Amino acid sequence: MVPERLHSNTEQLFDQKKKNDDTMEISLNSGPLVSICIPVYNAEKTIGKTLSSIINQKYKNLEIIVVDNDSRDNSVQMVQSFHDPRIKVIQHHVHFPVGEHNWNRCFSYACGDYLAIFHADDVYLPDMVSRQIETFRQYPSICGVFTQGDIIDENDEKIGEFQLPPEIRSGIPCTYKDIFFAALDYADFLPCPSAMLRRDAYSKLAPFRYDQFRSASDFDMWLRASKYSPVAILNEKLMNYRVSRTQGTNVLNRLRTHESDFFRVMDYHIKEYLQTDEIPAQKMNGYDLLRFGDLLIRTRNSFSKRDWKEFKTLLKDISWLKYAGIILRNPTSLYSKYKLFKYFRTFKVN
């Protein structure tokens, strides 16, 4: 026979668990409105999986805004086949050749307290939005939350994973300098389609400045966001980032012989917001080695393209003595940069 006292305690535990579950369900359904914006262009092969993953988020108080950039395939029809009242389709009949310009269209349609621009070919795990909202609640002063994730190919096979710099602590607010100094060593480590920002931050910081920073305009946005107010990065795999042969970033990486747009952003921020003497020498050495690695990638690309004139020019541009000196002074940095550029190759599909 179960003692009456034990029976009573067991009932209390079950009652408390039910209350907690009920509270969680109410929280997931009645929390702040989150605007999920999905810029789309010719994404009929992937938009279905993306939308399904967003519809099935545990956090339910969403508006899902699909902003079509005059697609020529069945993307819009695919979206319209989903019968969810939270989905709104915005069709544009003027095509923007630059995807980031379509991203900028999203801001005027969003009504939520928080706003995320998710990609039309990525897949989001069920806890993605709820974990971001939990983090905003934990740290009310932050303006953005990022996550980590796996990298997948066209067949949904895992080919890599995002890596957080060791000096960045998971879920702890990071300042502008925290993010910037880590980027001097590890380049852009913030997964763009994982970003969720407070709407007031986007209102203050918009637009993405593509005309100035090209393909790195998203990284410029995240740096400016961290300057506006701290951001948090969750070291949790809450999304699958897709890399495909036709993806713009991948095509660019395979053909690029110009300097990475990442350096436009970093050089601008060094000039505008930081004094060189504020940056530790070891960090600047790390940044120089990133530029050296980029030069080697560009030289290899020009060789692959049989662009001999560009190949010779790039070889002449490499300050071999300067970079050799940095490596000799910091021999361990060579191995860390090797691992970093090996990681970057994950984003290149031949």
d(CA 23, CA 114): 21
Same domain, 205 and 297: no
Residues 333, 273 share a domain: yes
Could you tell me if residue 224 is inside a domain? yes
Top pLDDT among 114 and 305 is at: 114
Q: Is residue 185 part of a domain?
A: yes
Are 94 and 234 part of one and the same domain? yes
Cβ–Cβ under 8 Å, residues 123 and 240: yes
Residue 172: phi, psi to the nearest 5?
A: -105, 130
Note down the domain range covering 42. Answer: 31-244
Residues 237 and 265 in one domain: no
Q: Is residue 294 part of a domain?
A: yes
- Which string of b and e fits 80-105 if b means at least 16 CB within 10 Å? eebeeeebebbeeeeebebbbbbbbb
Quote the number of domains for the chain. 2
Shared domain for 91 and 220, answered yes or no, is: yes
What DSSP state is assigned to residue 174?
A: B
Q: What is the pLDDT of residue 277?
A: 74
Please check whether residue 233 lies inside any domain of the structure.
yes
pLDDT of residue 273: 85
pLDDT tops 70 at residue 343? no
Instruction: Specify whether 272 is located in the same domain as 335.
Output: yes
Q: Is there a single domain that holds both residue 193 and residue 261?
A: no
Task: Judge if the upstream peptide bond of residue 207 is cis by omega within 30 degrees of 0.
Answer: yes
Pair 217, 319 in one domain: no
Pairing of strands 34-40, 144-152: unpaired
Q: Clarify whether residues 57 and 144 are in a common domain.
A: yes
pLDDT > 90 in the chain, percent: 69
Report yes or no on 7 lying in a domain: no
323/333 Cα distance (integer angstroms): 11
Residue 255 is which amino acid? L
Confidence at residue 22, expressed as pLDDT on a 0 to 100 scale: 46
Check whether 24 has a pLDDT greater than 70. Answer: no
- pLDDT value, residue 348: 46
222 and 266 together in one domain? no
Q: With 70 as the cut, is the pLDDT of residue 221 above it?
A: yes
- 137 with 279, same domain? no
What would the two tokens of residue 52 be? 């399904």
**pLDDT value of position 274:** 81
Query: Looking at residues 211-231, what average pLDDT do you find?
Result: 97
The predicted model gives 296-310 an average pLDDT of 90
Residue 35 covered by a domain: yes
Does residue 142 register a pLDDT over 70? Answer: yes
Same-domain check for residues 92 and 166? yes
What was the pLDDT predicted at 30? Answer: 74
Helix (H, G, I), strand (E, B), or coil: what is residue 213? helix
